[in-house]
Amino acid sequence: MKKWGYLAIGLLSVLLISFVGFLLIVFLGNYVIDEDKLVVHSSSEMVDLEGNFVSKLYNENHQIVSINDIPDYTKQAVVSIEDERFYKHHGIDTQSIFRAIVNDIKAFSKVQGASTLTQQLAKNVFLTNDKTFMRKTKEVIIAINLERKYTKDQILEMYLNQVYFGHGVYGIGGAAKYYFGKDVKNLSIEESASLAALLKAPSHYDPVTQPVRSLERRNLVLYKMLDTHYITESEYQKAKSKPTVLHITEQKFENGYATYIDMVIKEAKEKYGISYDQLLNGGYKVVVPIHKKTQLTAYKYFKNGNYFPGTDQNAEGAFVLINSETGGVEAAIGGRNYYFQGLNRINVKRQPGSTMKPLLVYSPALETGNYNPYSLLPNEQSALGDYKPKNYNGVYTKTISMFNALIQSANVPAVWLLNDIGIDNAKEYLEKMDLNIPDQGLSMALGGLKIGLTPLELVKAYSAFDHDGDALEPFVINAIYDRNNELVAEAKIKEYKVFSSQTSWYMTKMLKGVVNEGTASRGSFTGDLAGKTGSTNIPGQTNGNKDAWFVGYTPDVVGAIWMGYDKTDSDHFLRNGSTYPTILFKKILSEAGREPSTKFKKPKNIDDLESPINLEPISNVQSKVSFSPFGLFTVVINWNAPTDHRQQYRIYRVKNGKEKLIDTVTGLDEYKDSFVNVFNVPSYYVVPYNPQTKEEGDRSKLVKPNIRNKE
């Protein structure tokens, strides 16, 4: 008896408190809630940094439907299982609350909920997910006010249009399309019951992954419809006997901003704790660093198969562009036919190919202080342990400068240099940017990674070259304002100190050389552009490529384009390498008006870097003797004029079997040796000399002037 006595006292106490609370809610509800702010289905929107509208934030599976288009038995299925007294209560159901309390006390735990459809609507649309007493109080207050402001049909329509049905689908319209491939007005009784069955726990009663549970729950809904007299016994038996026949329909809705919108949704949740549903329906204004013209230009060209050299029309690609001062993403294309919540290839790891050379080899080497851009590196084919790299063009020389090795994308010197500076030392610079790769082999120098890097990660890494050695963390949200225009989130620029100013400037000048005269010279672009190409081979196949890259930057932006197949095989590969990404990158930026008006600016107090001097062979060497009053007999030596007037020439005299360097001239094609003994005229030869690398080229032939032919 004691147990029942305590139960009675508990019930009376709860009822008394509930009654007092109910009276407070009823009389104070309008005071607590400003009904003018009860805006259901308030779509959020994106605006750019100037406040210009960009796009609504929405889901293609979230289709708003009118209550008049929803069959009666669909509405009845939901009401019977979720809130059978929906048409009798005024927002909160005291009978259900009392019944839930009794059942909870009997079980000495919470076993039964008592939220009405109106309360669920209040919770889903207007409140956050914090578990507090005040939140529950607000939920009840809002529910009562909703009942005062709207009719039952309006409340049910709002509920059915925003409730979650699993698989990223919100609203009854989208659910009918997704699960059964039809408009909501064409749903059958059993299909309506299947959808209503999802509402309690969409993943637990998922008809796709949990067909048995789903069927049991569906049949329970049908029984509740029978019990509440919404359907007859014969309708119940007929619907119950039918299996659940699904017609899953993925609605791949495309949009020029689809990738960007998905990235905004993801960042809002991961960085600021704003859920998918809250962001889409909360009436937020999201300020984004997008450049609309660049975004839509990229979207247009990604639709053009002529820029994607695959074996068929299904070659894929990704493009991302960030601001070089802030890291804000100005354009993002996750695929050629990207649809909402699709595969965002901006975040898919691929082998980066030769785009790794600046990051993992040349920059770390410059940081040691033992190398400069003109340092000579071995360029002869040889083995380093078990690894024997080859130059892609099959051309080898004894040595090559770092500058020219990068311009030509030579593999042998890059691998040799990584081995010299040490893999662990080189990887430290990637780790400074939170880029961690498990690989340890020398093939890393050529981008041969087991897991790889994403286009966004490569852009982040290359931003260090364009930002005085500091890498920038990319972001897509500058700020978020709620429906009351209150600031709820704001971005903070995040930088990683990676390279010195000197190294980043050297790399910029060298990568500019790659664009001007190296592997990235194809395509048209006006203004300063630096960058690196990259491609990867198909294992066991000599023709074609698996991945093709261009990662580049101007004084204003840093970006990357990747091309390839989601799955490469003998029938699906790229016919050409990194030429196409390079051309497309330049095309997008040029058409979008992103050709920079300013040049790369050298930081103060660091050394500048000239473009490399390429030694030209000497040909057509001639000599003669002339007579002048002041020089007496003078030997005049001529050779072909250099195209690069920075090139130097060393003049050697050979006399009595001994060679002597007598002078060095710069940019000339003639030398005069005065006061020559006509009775013992010497021979001469000329050697080209590179003052940057301090290397000599091939000597000319030996010439000896004929005294008889003097002028």
Residues 124 and 33: their CA atoms lie apart, in Å, by: 16
**Sign of the C-alpha dihedral, residues 442, 443, 446, 450?**
negative
Q: Taking a C-beta distance cutoff of 8 angstroms, is the pair 545, 535 a contact?
A: yes
- Torsion angle in degrees (nearest 10) through CA of 592, 597, 599, 604: -120
- Cα end-to-end distance, the chain, whole Å: 138
DSSP 241-308: HS-----------B-TTHHHHHHHHHHHHHHH---HHHHHHB--EEE----HHHHHHHHHHHT-GGG-
Residue with tokens 């509402």: 199
Among the options 60, 82, 190, 267, which is catalytic? 82
Residue with tokens 């500091």: 470
The Cα diameter of the chain in Å comes to: 141
Residues 188 and 244: their CA atoms lie apart, in Å, by: 11
**DSSP symbol at 575:** S
Our separate counts of H helices and E strands in the chain read 20, 21
Active site residue 192: no
DSSP 465-525: HHTTTEEE--BS-SEEE-TT--EEEE----EEE-S-HHHHHHHHHHHHHHHHHSTT--S--
**Sign of the C-alpha dihedral, residues 306, 309, 310, 312?**
positive
Residues 46 and 34: their CA atoms lie apart, in Å, by: 26
Residues 413 and 374: their CA atoms lie apart, in Å, by: 13
Residues 677 and 673: their CA atoms lie apart, in Å, by: 11
**DSSP symbol at 643:** S
Residues 392 and 409: their CA atoms lie apart, in Å, by: 8
Residues 4 and 571: their CA atoms lie apart, in Å, by: 77
Q: For 645-658, give one letter per residue: b (16+ CB within 10 A) or e.
A: eebbbbbbbeeeee
Contact residues for 555 (Cβ-Cβ < 8 A; gap 6+): 324, 466, 528, 596, 598, 599, 600, 601
Q: Taking a C-beta distance cutoff of 8 angstroms, is the pair 498, 306 a contact?
A: no
Residue with tokens 């600016």: 601
Residues 541 and 519: their CA atoms lie apart, in Å, by: 22
Residues 561 and 349: their CA atoms lie apart, in Å, by: 13
**DSSP symbol at 704:** -
The token duo for 25 is 């809610």
Q: Taking a C-beta distance cutoff of 8 angstroms, is the pair 576, 564 a contact?
A: no
Determine the 3-state secondary structure of 81 from DSSP: helix
Among the options 192, 354, 363, 401, which is catalytic? 354
Active site residue 82: yes
Q: Taking a C-beta distance cutoff of 8 angstroms, is the pair 565, 573 a contact?
A: yes
| Ramachandran area for residue 683 (φ above 0: left; ψ -120 to 50: alpha; else beta) | beta
Q: In what order do the strands lie in the sheet with 530-537?
A: 329-333, 316-323, 557-564, 545-553, 530-537
- Kindly list the catalytic residues: 82, 354
